Chain A
Amino acid sequence: QSVLTQPPSVSGAPGQRVTMSCTGSRSNIGAGYDVNWYQQLPGAVPKLLINANSNRPSGVPDRFSGSKSGASASLAITGLQAEDEAAYYCQSFDRSLSGVVFGGGTKLTVL
């Protein structure tokens, strides 16, 4: 059971917009700690997709965006493409645990 809660799966058709949530608590996201998002393509190494809630590292398409409100965060993908099919993980810091925590991951299926 992960400290950060993510839906196990989401799906969308090519070209559509999908969002996925990451719900934390007052000891992590709600305490003001940043949320980061990672994309893991099948069989691949995780890749940093969004850092500091909404910042895209160099090379990440602007189809990907992140937001944070209260104790939750969201990742949105617009113009969905087949190559976006992957697992997406949110991450933050938890002050009660004094360590980094990950969500359980959301599997995105492109229909």
Chain B
Amino acid sequence: QVQLVQSGAEMKKPGASVQVSCKASGYTFTSFGISWVRQAPGQGLEWMGWINAYSGKTNYAQKFQGRASMTTDTSTSTVYMELRSLRSDDTAIYYCARDYSGWGPEDYWGQGSLVTVSS
């Protein structure tokens, strides 16, 4: 069965960086892409970007261009998302989700990784 397992919760100070990992199993990793979606406390879903798990080609939401980086490691079927220059409003649950094309839909989701940014 398709599974996306994410890394654990992180607590960071403003200005720091965070890296969240997403390990895929149960399907051919290189045949699909991975999207990252975040959800601030009590708020809605926000798409951050997408990476082609095979080629590493990325498409970032304009809001995150220059501050987010997504990478893929085909040897471990793992995708990474790094967010730099963290601010308090980056506090959110970060989800990875499988997305074939980068246009949606996200058909399988990871369990989420809580990132808390606080001084």
Count how many chain A residues have C-beta atoms less than 8 Å from C-beta atoms of the other chain.
27
Closest A-chain residue to B108, C-beta based? A48
Determine whether the beta carbon of B47 is less than 8 Å from that of A100: yes
Query: Shortest CB–CB separation between residue B41 and chain A, in angstroms?
Result: 12
**B 58-86 binary contact with A (CB < 8 Å = 1; else 0):** 01111000000000000000000000000
Give the residues in chain B near A103, CB-CB below 8 Å: 44
Closest A-chain residue to B60, C-beta based? A99
Determine whether the beta carbon of A89 is less than 8 Å from that of B47: no
Query: Shortest CB–CB separation between residue A95 and chain B, in angstroms?
Result: 10
Bound state CA distance, A38 and B69, in angstroms? Answer: 26
Point out which of B102, B109, B112 has the most chain A C-beta atoms below 10 A from its C-beta.
B109
Interface residues of A (CB under 8 A from B): 2, 33-34, 36, 38, 40, 45-48, 51-52, 57, 87, 89, 91-93, 97-105
